Structures are given as structure tokens and as C-alpha cells.
């Protein structure tokens, strides 16, 4: 996927801010001029991410996860949000925030608190927060549409309203290779996780209209679960010629390539962007997670 935008001649009239829950690569944020707030986690007594935590390669994170390490994420605080928002409003810029789903984290509320405090301090500035109700590259896909809208010359109000209209059409379909982390997060019961693991039953899940993870089906074995994702996509996708498809994976690139092959067979050659699921999302979904994101008639 080409991250270049308007040959460097952007018409954007305001700052766009999101968080690392969007799982967009660093190159995207840099090349599109998007501010991002790093979410963090603790693992084996070490703090990673956030503002002052250690850095860790995604590959290494999944190695530790597979080895039994137990990471725990923490949400963005109002103070952390302000740290990234205030330089823009102080410099005379309005700010549009695209937040990680409120159905999965309290981060959205932290942005709202930060925006309220900054609006009191800088009353001439506009600060809007959109609850994406999305996660991982679903949030990233919404950010990408917002960037394109903003760069077309749309005002901050027009772009905010566009994001609010569009977010309910951002579909997330995913499967996991191991049910343990979903059990640990309370997404499936211990019995379901045990039986599913023994019988190689793979769940098919999505993010619903409230921005929460919900199981909607199951398949026997890995390849059938990937095929099930594409079948769901065929039933719901409403893709125009210029609408991209995003694919994310938790350290299972070969499975992601297989999914892309099935998607291309069903939808023809089009823009497909693949990226890794970062540590914050990977903490809750586990290694071997595979997800498809696209615009559809319903979630």
C-alpha cells in the first residue's frame, strides 16, 4: 500500500490524532502526518509502550506470548491524551481524535476528559473526539478514510460527521488459532476454550455495533475458519472501486497471505493492505489471530 498523500501538498485544515490501537505501522503515521498516542502494557515485570516504557519488536512479543508470558494492557489516561493534543491547540490547530472503541477500553473517555479541559483552556479551538467503535486495523481503516476526507479539503466538522456516518459500516471479521487469550479476557468460557482447543474448533468473531467482540460462528480447523471469514465478507462487503481491504495478523503471515489469495479470488485485484497486530491488541487476541476489515452493509 502506498502511503504517499497528495505529493506532500495536503489541504488538511486541522490535526488528526489516533492511538496505537489502530495497528497502523509507524510509516503510516509519519507519511500522513497523523499524531498517534502509544498505548502500553506490562509483561514479565517490564512496562512497554506508553510514554516512557521500553520498546519491543512485535515478533519478540509473540515469542514471549507463546512462551507463556502474561501481558496486561493499560488504557490511555487523560493526562497522556493531553500530552499529545495540547501542542496542536497551543499552535493554533483544531484537533479531530479517532479513538479506540469504547466497547473495549476506557481510552475514549480519557480523550473526552482531555478535550473538555483543553477546550476550557483554549476556547477558540475546536476539539472533536469520535468513538470509532473499531479496533486494530478496523480503527486503522476508519483513520485512513478520515485522512483522505481531510486531505480533500473538508472542514473538521465535515470530516467528523463523515467519520460518525462511516464507522458503523467498518466490518471486522476475525478468527484466532488459540482460545486461551479470549478465555482469559472473558470472551469465551473455560469449557468452550477447553473443548474448542481439543477438537480444533476455531471461532469466527466480529466487532459489533457497540464496538465489542462477539462470537458469530465456528469452523473445524484453521483453513476452514479462514474460508469462513471470506464467506462472511462476501455476504456483507459493499466495496467501491477505490475502497481498500485491510488484513491484520498476529505473527501468522502465511495464513494472512492465504486469506488474501481467497479475497482476491472473490473480489478481484484491488488495494489490499496487510499489517501485524500490535502487542496491545495481541494481548487480548493471542498469537495466530487473523482479521479482515472492509466496508460493508452492516457489521
CATH number for the domain spanning 183: value is 3.30.1180.10
DSSP state of 214: E
CATH number for the domain spanning 96: value is 3.40.50.10170
Residue 1: inside a domain, yes or no?
no
Residue 194: inside a domain, yes or no?
yes
Distance CA 151, CA 129 (A): 18
With 0.85 as the threshold, say if the pTM is over it. yes
Q: How many domains would you assign to the chain?
A: 2
In the prediction, which pLDDT does 199 show? 62
Residue 124: inside a domain, yes or no?
yes
Residues 240 and 276 in one domain: yes
Burial class (CB in 10 A: 0-12, 13-18, 19+), 20: buried
DSSP state of 54: B
Residues 21 and 151 in one domain: yes
- Which of the listed residues 114, 138, 167 is the one where a domain comes to its end? 167
In the prediction, which pLDDT does 9 show? 45
C-alpha distances (whole Å) from 133 to each of 56, 129, 208 are 27, 12, 8
**Residue ranges making up the domain that contains 58:** 6-167
Residues 148 and 288 in one domain: no
In the prediction, which pLDDT does 5 show? 47
Residue among 296, 265, 3 nearest 143 (CA): 3
In the prediction, which pLDDT does 215 show? 82
In the prediction, which pLDDT does 207 show? 95
Written as tens digits, the pLDDT of the chain (299 aa) is 544 444 444 578 899 999 999 999 999 999 999 999 999 999 999 999 999 999 999 999 999 999 999 999 999 999 999 999 999 999 999 999 999 999 999 999 999 999 999 999 999 999 999 999 999 999 999 999 999 999 999 999 999 999 999 999 999 999 998 766 666 666 566 666 666 666 677 888 899 999 998 888 889 899 999 999 999 999 999 999 999 999 999 999 999 999 999 999 999 988 899 999 999 999 988 999 999 999 999 99
In the prediction, which pLDDT does 217 show? 87
Residue 37: inside a domain, yes or no?
yes
- Which of the listed residues 167, 185, 214 is the one where a domain comes to its end? 167
Residues 37 and 92 in one domain: yes
Residues 252 and 162 in one domain: no
- Which of the listed residues 106, 141, 167 is the one where a domain comes to its end? 167
Residues 155 and 180 in one domain: no
Distance CA 69, CA 227 (A): 30
In the prediction, which pLDDT does 2 show? 45
Amino acid at each position: 500500500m502506498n502511503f504517499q498523500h497528495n505529493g506532500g501538498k495536503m489541504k488538511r485544515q486541522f490535526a488528526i490524532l489516533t492511538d496505537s490501537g489502530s495497528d497502523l505501522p509507524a510509516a503510516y503515521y509519519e507519511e500522513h502526518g497523523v499524531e498517534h498516542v502509544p498505548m502500553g502494557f506490562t509483561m514479565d515485570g517490564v512496562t512497554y509502550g506508553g510514554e516512557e516504557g521500553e520498546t519491543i519488536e512485535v515478533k519478540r512479543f509473540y515469542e514471549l506470548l507463546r512462551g507463556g508470558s502474561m501481558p496486561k494492557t493499560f488504557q490511555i489516561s487523560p493526562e497522556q491524551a493531553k500530552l499529545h493534543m495540547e501542542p496542536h491547540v497551543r499552535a493554533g490547530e483544531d484537533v479531530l481524535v479517532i479513538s479506540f472503541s469504547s466497547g473495549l477500553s476506557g481510552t475514549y473517555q480519557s480523550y473526552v476528559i482531555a478535550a473538555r479541559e483543553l477546550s476550557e483552556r483554549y476556547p477558540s479551538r475546536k476539539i472533536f473526539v469520535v468513538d470509532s467503535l473499531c479496533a486494530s486495523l478496523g480503527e486503522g481503516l476508519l483513520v485512513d478514510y478520515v485522512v483522505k476526507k481531510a486531505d480533500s479539503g473538508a472542514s473538521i466538522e465535515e470530516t467528523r460527521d463523515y467519520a460518525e456516518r462511516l464507522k458503523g459500516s467498518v466490518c471486522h471479521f476475525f478468527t484466532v488459532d488459540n482460545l486461551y487469550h479470549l478465555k482469559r479476557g472473558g470472551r469465551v468460557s473455560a469449557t468452550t476454550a477447553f473443548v474448542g482447543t481439543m477438537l480444533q474448533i476455531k471461532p469466527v468473531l466480529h466487532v459489533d455495533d457497540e464496538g465489542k467482540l462477539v462470537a458469530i460462528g465456528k469452523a473445524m480447523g484453521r483453513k476452514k475458519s479462514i474460508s469462513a471469514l471470506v464467506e462472511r465478507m462476501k455476504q456483507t462487503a459493499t466495496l467501491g472501486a477505490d475502497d481498500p481491504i485491510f488484513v491484520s495478523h498476529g505473527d501468522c503471515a502465511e495464513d494472512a497471505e492465504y486469506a488474501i489469495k481467497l479475497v482476491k479470488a472473490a473480489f478481484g485485484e484491488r488495494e489490499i493492505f496487510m499489517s501485524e497486530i500490535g502487542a496491545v491488541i495481541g494481548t487480548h487476541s493471542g498469537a495466530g489471530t487473523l482479521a479482515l476489515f472492509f466496508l460493508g452493509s452492516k457489521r
